[in-house]
Amino acid sequence: MKLDDATFRQLRRLAPILDDVLNAGEVEHADQAVNLASLAQLCSQLFDAYRDQHPGEIAQAQLDAIESQ
């Protein structure tokens, strides 16, 4: 699934926040938490769009994830 330019730019803007949190091992600032919420919302929207385009692949990936646990 190709990302539109606006979505791509938004992901690029939010990626450093996730990197900061992962490197620190904690959420250190309120703005990080807010940006993580924005990133989660964007990821959820991307997942929904991908699932709508490829429902069979998503269903199989979910089954595979359950089986591997």
| Predicted local distance difference test score (pLDDT) of residue 65 | 95
Q: Which residues contact 62 (CB under 8 A, 6 or more apart)?
A: none
Residue 61: give the domain boundaries: 5-67
| Predicted local distance difference test score (pLDDT) of residue 59 | 96
- The label of the residue with tokens 């900061």 reads 20
| Overall domain count for the chain | 1
| Predicted local distance difference test score (pLDDT) of residue 17 | 94
Q: What is the DSSP string of 17-69?
A: HHHHHHHHTS--SHHHHHHHHHHHHHHHHHHHHHHHH-HHHHHHHHHHHHHT-
Digit-coded pLDDT (tens) for 6-60: 999 999 999 999 999 999 999 999 999 999 999 999 999 999 999 999 999 999 9
